[in-house]
Amino acid sequence: MCDVLDIKLNTIPDWNCCAASIGYAEGGELPRLALSARNMALSEQASPGQDIVATCAACWLATRETKERLNADEELMKETNEALAAGGLSVKADQNVRHMAEVLIEDFGFDELGKHVKKPLDGIKIAGYVGCQTNRPFGIDGESFENPKYLDKLVETMGAEPIENYDKKVSCCGGALAFSEPEKSQALIKDIIEAAYDGGADMIVTPCPVCQLNVEAYQNDINAKYKTKFNMPVVYYSTLMSVAYGKDRKQSGLDGQIITPKQLEEIAK
């Protein structure tokens, strides 16, 4: 997808994991913020003035939150730099921290994104599942928290058909609690899939890798528990775009699916 659109991403040298939303318990405030601050510090060194772009909702959220907290609170900025100094780094937190979806929508726009479509995804009905953290608390500029439209527009731009009134669009999949509270999370996931079937969807598309994994991977367990027959493919938006842009199965990441989206496989062949 990035090579079609000529987006060049530089990896942050020696990046570390941001601890997502589960870092709070052991990490507390400053050590947790220090994780993201270290990434920002390394990025400022290697690519000054460039935007930081995250493809994962949780990484984006953690990094952007850290940036905003540091800019709003002098003391926190001072303490964070004190911690970073122990590892020979310092941070200004002056780069923009953006989600890949923002880059696509704001810097390219739907018209431009549509120009590169080589194989329109005709006749595929798709439930656009935005989930939580891509949407809240920051969200994509100009979109509402309760009913953001950009994912449906993206689906349409790729030639597929977004299902209407998908009422689990911004519901939570349980996030990290899928591991620690499997039953409770699976009840949430069940509703998300059920609503997609109710709307006549052939597959679900999502901008969040955590949602993608949670909603795709537990369908067997859910079927066993609730006597359902779910077999709903769940794809990441870049997979959808890559197929529409004429990439093959592997380049699109279709070989990474647990539940095969047959229609996409057909098109990518």
Q: Which residues bind another protein (CB under 8 A)?
A: 14-17, 19, 21-31, 33-35, 38, 79-80, 82-89, 132-133, 135-137, 145, 171-172, 174-177, 179-181, 184-185, 188, 213, 217-218, 220-221, 255-258
The DSSP line for the chain is -HHHHT---PPPTT-----GGGTHHHHTTHHHHHHHHHHHHHHHHHSTTPPEEESSHHHHHHHHHHHHHHHH-HHHHHHHHHHHHTTT------S-EEEHHHIIIIIIHHHHHHHT-SS--TT-EEEE---STTTSSS-STT--SSS--HHHHHHHHTT-EEPTT-TTTT----TTHHHHSHHHHHHHHHHHHHHHHHTT-SEEEES-HHHHHHHHHTHHHHHHHH-------EEEHHHHHHHHTT--TTTTTGGG-SS--HHHHHHH-
**128 versus 175: smaller Cβ distance to another protein:** 175
Residue with Cβ nearer another protein (96 or 220):
220
Measured from the CB atom, the residue of 13 and 48 that comes closer to another protein is 13
Nearest distance, CB of residue 207 and another protein, angstroms: 15
CB of 182 to another protein, least distance (A): 9
Closest separation between CB of residue 256 and another protein, Å? 5
Min CB(6)–another protein separation in Å: 27
Identify which of residues 158 and 178 has a Cβ nearer to another protein in the complex: 178
- Quote the least distance from Cβ 126 to another protein, whole Å: 21
- Return the number of the residue (113 or 151) whose C-beta is nearest another protein: 151
